[in-house]
Structure 1
Amino acid sequence: MTDFPKILMIIGGLLLVIGFFMQFIGKLPGDIIFKKGNTTVFFPIVTCIVISIVLSLILSLLGRFK
């Protein structure tokens, strides 16, 4: 039962980080948007890089606590 508070804090932290980054998805400089007529093509290059770095950091921190 002593691990339960740690798990709740980790889940809460993850939800906080995910919620924070959901506000900025698609709005970062470097994301490419082409609009022509009724067609819109979106390439979230920088957003994908940022998400990858954040997930790598979170998973490496979780790996250290085992």
Structure 2
Amino acid sequence: MLKWLVVIVLMVIVTEVFRPGLTRTLRLGHLPGDLHFRVFGRAFHLPFTSTLLLSLVVWVVLRAI
């Protein structure tokens, strides 16, 4: 359980560090199925498609190892 927690924290850190480059080059966060909306003056971003795509890539990489 602790290993998975460490892996998840590291993935979040790596994703946040490389997010500006990924959004410009791979358009992650702006794919069809990623929701962007405003409610009561606050912006919300729900990247459903980007999350599924990244999960699939991680799964393929882990299966290859």
Name 1:55's counterpart in structure 2.
Answer: 58
Match of 1:38 in 2: 41
- Once the two structures are TM-superposed, the CA of residue 36 in structure 1 deviates from its matched residue by 4.4
The TM-score normalised by the length of structure 1 is 0.55
Q: What residue identity is the alignment partner of 2:55? A: S
Over residues 7-55 of structure 1, what are the superposed CA-to-partner deviations in whole Å (9 max), with x where a residue is unaligned? Answer: xxxxxxxxxxx88x82322110100011246310111001110000000
Taking structure 2 as the reference length, the TM-score comes to 0.55
Aligned equivalents of 1:52, 1:60: Cα separation in 2:
12
The size of the alignment, in residue pairs, is 44
State how far apart, in whole Å, the 2-side matches of 1:54 and 1:22 are.
14
**Root-mean-square deviation (Å):** 2.3
Q: Structure 2: which 5+ residue stretches go unaligned?
A: 1-17
Q: What percentage of residue pairs aligned between the two structures are identical?
A: 23
Greater C-alpha radius of gyration: 1
